[in-house]
Amino acid sequence: MRNIVTRLMIITMLLVFVGGTAFAAGAKEQASSAGFDVVLLDASNDNTWRIQMEDQMQKVADRYKENGWINSYTVYSANNDANLQSQQLSQIANKGETDIVIINPVSASSLNPVIDRATSRGIRVFAVDSTIDHPDVITFTNDQRNYAKLHVEWLVDELNGEGNIFWFDAIPGVPANDDRVSVYEEVFAKYPKINVLAHDTHSWSVAEAKQKTSQLLAAYSEDIDGILTQECSAGIIQAFVEAGRALPGAINSGESIEDMRIWGKYRFTSLMVENPPAVGAHGLMMAVRLLQGKELKNDVIENNIVNVKQNLVIDNSMLDEWLEKTKDMKDTESIDSLMSDAQVDLLFK
């Protein structure tokens, strides 16, 4: 099953053409055999997607320790606190002993003054999953705008451009969340008959999504025609079922296996778009190669962002096939795939 998922992700990555980039001024000159000291600053690890991302990155780090590419690998979580993440980076910059800092940012730009200090000390800073708006930072991310576009345009089409909906975002201020929201707003502006009864957040937590939905269902007696959510659809569906309310006609799905199994159980109309947690590991693999002196292929890198468009989109016609393919996976896992070193090497000159 995982081989099938992996092949799909390989196709996606090989279609991405990545442009070259120069090191920031003052970056350390490192020999490929030096063994880099690497730190991950994760926005949080309080949801299953981020846990899976960290696990994939740890596996790559362990392998790179064995072959001498990494000397040390340390992980910190900011618990979604931008100030805490800034303090963590500041401490690393002050010590000046780290070669690579990879950040899953809480905020797109709040770290910039500290990044300036870190790069002046010869530390190379990268971002994964969410973008950092800094000229010396390359971000490796799944294409969040494309992810959002696929979901929201599908929802509007299913509703024929009108109806009552609940709209759930995740954590305002987190770049991935905000990139998606900007797309949702652009699309909804074209459809004035889409009536957003409630717009709330669930912090990428299934439990919180369930709780918030239960509260909204108690407050709104109207029929709910659609749901737009940034993942966590399992919690939303559970709230509808427990409240004895009819399921909406269209509910976009999160990409966790739990989301898929809830979809299979209740058979509502849905769409699932991949957002692979392996993006963090891919960022680590590419960051190490860049510090080894390798260059990304001279094709496409826009505004220091390496974007990977989603290749796997599952609709109702494909649901049974994917339920079978993922039957051995845990509810807490997301559809994911990790490239091999040989596949990553294909992105470099």
Give residue 25's pLDDT: 32
Write the DSSP symbol of residue 334: B
Query: How many CA atoms lie less than 13 Å away from 14 in the CB half-sphere?
Result: 11
Fold (CATH) for 144-252: Rossmann fold (3.40.50)
What SS3 class is residue 329?
coil
User: 228 - beta bridge partners?
Assistant: 167
Q: Contact at 8 Å (CB) between 268 and 247? A: yes
CA distance 1 to 150: 25
Give residue 338's pLDDT: 84
Contacts of 160 (CB under 8 A, 6+ apart): none
Give residue 34's pLDDT: 64
**Secondary structure of 108-148 in the HEC alphabet?**
CCCCHHHHHHHHHCCCEEEEECCCCCCCCCEEEEECHHHHH
CA distance 217 to 330: 29
User: 120 - beta bridge partners?
Assistant: none
Give residue 299's pLDDT: 67
Give residue 21's pLDDT: 34
Q: Contact at 8 Å (CB) between 273 and 313? A: yes
CA distance 35 to 338: 22
Q: Contact at 8 Å (CB) between 286 and 346? A: no
- Cβ count within 10 A of residue 82: 18
- Tell me how long the chain is: 349
Tokens 């002993």 label which residue?
A: 97
Longest dimension (CA), the chain: 65
Give residue 14's pLDDT: 36
Q: How is the chain split into domains, by residue range?
A: 2-142+276-309, 144-252
- Say whether 144-252 and 2-142+276-309 share the same fold: yes
CA distance 311 to 146: 11
Give residue 31's pLDDT: 37
Query: How many CA atoms lie less than 13 Å away from 64 in the CB half-sphere?
Result: 29
**Over its length of 349 residues, how does the chain's per-residue pLDDT go in tens digits?**
434 333 334 334 433 333 333 333 333 444 345 699 999 999 999 888 999 999 999 999 999 999 999 999 999 999 999 999 999 999 999 999 999 999 999 988 889 999 999 999 999 999 999 999 899 999 999 999 999 999 999 999 999 999 999 999 999 988 899 999 999 999 999 999 999 999 999 999 999 999 999 999 999 999 999 999 999 999 999 999 999 999 999 999 999 999 999 999 999 999 999 999 999 999 999 999 999 999 888 765 778 888 877 889 999 999 999 999 999 999 999 998 888 899 888 888 8
Q: Contact at 8 Å (CB) between 281 and 56? A: yes
Give residue 1's pLDDT: 40
Contacts of 267 (CB under 8 A, 6+ apart): none
> Which class is domain 2-142+276-309?
alpha beta
Comparing CA positions, the residue from 249, 225, 209 lying closest to residue 165 is 225
Write the DSSP symbol of residue 256: B
Give residue 23's pLDDT: 33
